[in-house]
Amino acid sequence: MAQKIDSLYESTIDFGAHPNERAVTSTTKLTRSAEKISFQTDYLAGDALSANHALKVTLQVGVGSLSIFEKMRKERFEILGASETLARVRVGL
């Protein structure tokens, strides 16, 4: 579980959680014309890869957090039926 959470953390860094080269260049488009050179960025907007990644990682971190609590309070999760729900939510994330 710790490796999964660490991997999510590192992934968010790569996609811009902290300013870095990949966060900027992965969302920047360069346009050249005779008169000018333009840079456009869609950082966390529209269909940008970084926006989609941010949404998916947010869900993965939430599920990871609940998974940690499930290990700590297994009986309570089972009483509430949360273990079954969590198992279904994990599929595809």
Question: Higher-confidence residue: 45 or 74?
Answer: 74
Measured CA to CA, the distance from residue 41 to residue 48 in angstroms comes to 9
Domain count of the fold of the chain: 1
Based on its alpha-carbon atoms, the radius of gyration of the chain, rounded to whole angstroms, reads 19
Residue 2 burial class via C-beta count within 10 angstroms: exposed 0-12, middle 13-18, buried 19 and up:
exposed
For 30, the domain range is: 2-90
pLDDT at residue 85, rounded to an integer: 92
User: Does the predicted TM-score (pTM) go above 0.85?
Assistant: no
